């Protein structure tokens, strides 16, 4: 136990993990991946581009599906914000094992200090780890932008280094997680999974205005085939 604790402290000191973060809270934030930062968008875009450029098209599918989901996530750093999230958009299979999509987002951030709505857009990709006729298991990553009715996050705990600063209305967002699609009928798929959510402004207004937000939670929704 002591060794594990020392390894964790060393990892934070050398910058492998963000401050005040355990590895299991944001596992893919470890360097060099950093999927919750601008590096994540670069990695994600490069992975999609490589998938399309270096693999052969394995399907004649050329269809777009309506996509909708709702979910909630729970902040693990002060002020421990609860996030409610609704997405609606389209998803497009480009390989049997890969789909790309885009969704508009509505967020509600609520805690003892913050209480505001935010609106945004997020392109994303899904890599299907398992793909069967009636179900599929996927890894998803996407990054986008959002604009809040009020600056978010506002001041958090004065004892927490990451939340003593004041946020902004404009922010970048990223999500990654794993999920399951289940075929319910010829026209409907159900989806559910778990996900990490990150929001920050990339220090565009200075580090003193970028407290950032991180949370983990779940989502569920539907995918509708309207092509027939």
Domain ranges of the chain: 59-224
Q: pLDDT tens digit string along 120-154?
A: 999 999 999 999 999 999 999 999 999 999 999 98
Residue 224 is classified by DSSP as: E
CA distance 211 to 161: 9
Cα–Cα distances in angstroms (integers) from residue 7 to residues 26, 30, 109, 121, 161, in the given order = 16, 14, 33, 38, 21
Supply angle C-alpha 30, 105, 136, rounded to 5: 65
Task: Say how far apart CA 82 and CA 216 lie, in whole Å.
Answer: 10
CB 193 within 8 A of CB 61: no
Question: Using CA atoms, how far apart are residues 84 and 116, in angstroms rounded to an integer?
Answer: 11
pTM of the complete model: 0.86
CATH fold group of domain 59-224: Porin (2.40.160)
Over the stretch 163-186, which tens digit does the pLDDT of each residue have? 567 899 999 999 999 999 999 999
Write phi, then psi, for 63 (nearest 5 degrees): -130, 155
Cα(18)–Cα(13) distance, rounded to whole angstroms? 9
Q: Which of 85, 193, 88 is nearest to 138 (CA)?
A: 193
pLDDT tens string 42-100: 888 889 999 889 998 886 667 899 999 999 999 998 889 999 999 999 999 999 999 99
């Amino acid at each position: 136990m002591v060794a594990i604790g020392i390894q964790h402290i060393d990892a934070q000191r050398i910058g492998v993990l963000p401050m005040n973060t355990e590895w299991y809270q944001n596992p893919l934030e470890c360097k060099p991946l950093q999927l919750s930062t601008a590096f994540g968008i670069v990695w994600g875009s490069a992975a999609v581009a490589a998938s399309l450029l270096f693999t052969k098209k394995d399907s004649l599918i050329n269809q777009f599906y309506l996509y909708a989901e709702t979910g909630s996530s729970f902040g693990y750093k002060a002020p421990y914000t609860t996030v409610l999230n609704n997405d609606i958009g389209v998803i497009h299979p480009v390989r049997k094992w890969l789909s790309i999509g885009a969704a508009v987002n509505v967020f509600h951030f609520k805690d003892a200090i913050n209480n505001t709505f935010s609106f945004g857009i997020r392109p994303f990709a899904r890599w299907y780890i398992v793909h069967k006729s009636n179900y599929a298991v996927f890894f998803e990553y996407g990054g986008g932008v959002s604009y809040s009715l009020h600056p978010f996050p506002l001041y958090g705990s004065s004892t927490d280094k990451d939340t003593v600063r004041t946020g902004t209305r404009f922010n970048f967002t990223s999500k990654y997680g794993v999920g399951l699609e289940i075929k319910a009928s010829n026209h409907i798929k159900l989806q559910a999974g778990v996900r990490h959510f990150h929001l920050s402004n990339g220090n565009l207004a200075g580090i003193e205005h970028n407290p950032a937000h991180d949370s983990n939670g779940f989502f569920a929704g539907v995918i509708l085939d309207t092509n027939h």
